[in-house]
Structure 1
Amino acid sequence: MSLIGLPTRATRALDNRVVLISGAHGGLGAAAARACAQAGATVVLLGRKVPKLNRVYDALAQVGSEPLIYPLDMEGASPDDYAELANRLHLELGRLDGLLHCAAEFRGLTPLEHTDPAAFARAIHVNLTAPYWLSQACLPLLKQSTDAALVFTLDDSARVSQAYWGGYGVAQHGLAALMGMLHAELANSPVRVSALQPGPMRTPLRARAYADDQDIQTRDPADYADACVTLLSSAGRGHRGQIWTVRA
């Protein structure tokens, strides 16, 4: 990968690392992808919307990065699809040093009593089952790294425990439990497991819950991108097994 033209940062925290980002065309995913590229990583952009992935690719190329695109719909992908992804990464790049989960599915606030069963199942699958399948498929490759990071992004647990958050809210609690279990099981391995809980961000997901958002604490996702880099880098060792709550 040619890094000519990349701006010089005080710390090239992800030099010589390969980082896979799910939901790479979303608000936080796209911002994290740019920050990871600027920190020296080879970034693999995973998402279901190819035109949006192409825009992120172009943005990274403008700063001298050479990312890779891997289109995948996490709603319809099977465990075999994730195994094929891991195999492709191994064949084409030879390694994987970080996996950052930014993909999320949320259709809006709805009472559980009136939630379509298929919509509830879809929310659980995309927000919990699919990240587990992706993590499981990538773990053998991550374990080959001397210092690998598996990072989940979580919503505010207190907020999504409230009424109307449905399958998305339930899945967020499950994701936090999954992070803790994986940390316990991988504590003696080279794979560090942690999670980032950012503050409120101006994203399409949040807009589906708050049509008229007046929260003055809401920030651009880019304000949390450096926190993603920290957790994916060797500096993330101090957050191993933790949910890191960050407020910009």
Structure 2
Amino acid sequence: MDDNAVAALDRRVVLVTGAHGGLGSAAAIACARAGATVVLLGRRLPKLNRVYDAIRAEGPEPLLYPLDLEGASPDDYAELAGRVGSELGRLDGVLHCAADFRGLTPLLHTDPAAFARAIHVNLTAPWWLSQACLPLLAKADDAALVFAINDLARVGKANWGGYGIAQQGLASLVGMLHSELANTPVRVSGLQPGPMRTPLRAMAYVEQDDRLARPPEVYAPACVTLLSPAGAAHRGQVWAPAP
């Protein structure tokens, strides 16, 4: 990594959701290498601790924030934003990597509670968190709100259930928020990585036969780009970078 890349997020504070997942952990480490102080949000503390330890060897000390998006309320997100503001003094970016997918199931046979959980964790919760963080983001000279979005052409097909519907909603959210925040310091964009070798993808594809999947680390630099000033080139877009 060259010196310019290392400085891309220098002195910035970035919140990463799903920070112990495939893309989330890779992106969090890449952000730290690029100079950011990273807030690690996830529901599994032991896994968050491992990412925390990896980041301490790469950049500024991160902040751990265990939180389960399924059960968190708007008040919980407001408390999170308040803590980030009081302890770190600023927030320059939010990267949404958290996702919940329990496998391919026809809608007709999907448990109603499972459908509601998929919509909530993959769409409602990211918006609640974003809404709570926007006032803090708006205080920055340049801030980024980034949503990781699956390939809509794939997850819009049969059997992807509430997860697939939520992904379509996230893409709409990017466009709507971009229009509403166009004259503010907050840039909104989506990241559509290619197939990645992650536990989520393994729920739909047999791993040993999945020759298209790449390690999540391949797409971590794109996360840094969207969170940095260079991300202005993709403002309002769902970017699908080449691997």
Please indicate, yes or no, whether the TM-score normalized by the shorter chain is above 0.5: yes
Three-state SS of the structure 2 residue aligned to 1:126 is: helix
The TM-score with structure 1 as length reference comes to: 0.95
| AA aligned opposite 2:162 | G
1:98 aligns with 2:67: no
Q: Note if contact 2:37-2:59 (Cα within 8 Å) is conserved in structure 1.
A: no
Selected match of 2:177 from 169, 177, 182: 182
| Letter matched to residue 90 of structure 2 | R
Unaligned runs of 5+ in 1: 1-6
Which 4+ stretches in 1 moved above 4 angstroms?
A: none
Partner of 1:219: 214
CA contact (8 A) 2:100 2:121 kept: yes
Is the Cα–Cα contact under 8 Å of residues 35 and 59 in structure 2 kept in the other structure?
no
Gaps of 5+ in 2: none
Structural mapping, 1:1-248, within 5 Å: 9-11=3-5, 12-248=7-243
Rounded Cα–Cα distance in structure 2 between residues aligned with 1:47 and 1:169: 21
Q: For residues 59 and 136 of structure 2, what CA distance do their matches in structure 1 show?
A: 26
Q: Deviations over 1:110-155 (max 9, x none)?
A: 1111100000000000000000000000000000000000000000
Partner amino acid, structure 2, of 1:223: V
* Aligned residues of 2:27 and 2:224 also touching (Cα < 8 A): yes
Local SS of the residue matching 2:209: coil
Inter-partner Cα distance in structure 2 for 1:162 and 1:228: 26
What is the rounded CA distance, in whole Å, between the counterparts of 2:52 and 2:3 in structure 1? Answer: 20
- The question of whether the paired residues in 1 share the 8 Å contact of 2:16 and 2:97 is answered with yes
CA–CA distance in structure 2, aligned partners of residues 213 and 162 of structure 1: 23
| Inter-CA distance 236–96: structure 2 relative to 1 (3 Å threshold) | same
Query: 1:9·1:38 contact (CA, 8 Å) conserved in 2?
Result: no
State the Cα distance separating 1:64 from its structure 2 match.
4.0
1:90 maps to a residue whose letter is: G
Distance 1:110 1:213, change over 3 A: farther
Deviation digits for residues 3-45 of structure 1 (CA, Å, limit 9, x no counterpart): xxxx974431000100000000000000000100000000000
C-alpha distance in 1 between matches for 2:193 and 2:25: 15
Matched-pair contact (CA < 8 Å) for 2:30–2:224: yes
In 1: Cα distance, 2:117 partner to 2:165 partner: 12
Kindly indicate whether the alpha-carbon contact (under 8 Å) linking 1:207 and 1:213 is maintained by their aligned counterparts in 2: no
What whole-Å deviation, never above 9, does each CA across 1:81-122 have from its counterpart, x for those lacking one?
Answer: 000000001110110000000000000001111100000000
Partners of 1:132 and 1:213 lie apart in 2 by 35
Query: By how many angstroms is 1:61 displaced?
Result: 1.1
Quickly say closer, same or farther: Cα 1:54–1:39, change in 2 above 3 A.
Answer: same
Q: CA deviation at 1:246?
A: 1.6
CA RMSD, Structure 1 to Structure 2 (Å): 1.1
- Aligned-residue offset at 1:213: 5.0
Amino acid at match of 2:95: L
1:203 shift after superposition: 0.1
Q: CA deviation at 1:62?
A: 1.9
Indicate the SS of the match to 1:209.
coil
| Aligned length in residues | 242
Residue 212 (structure 1) shift: 4.2
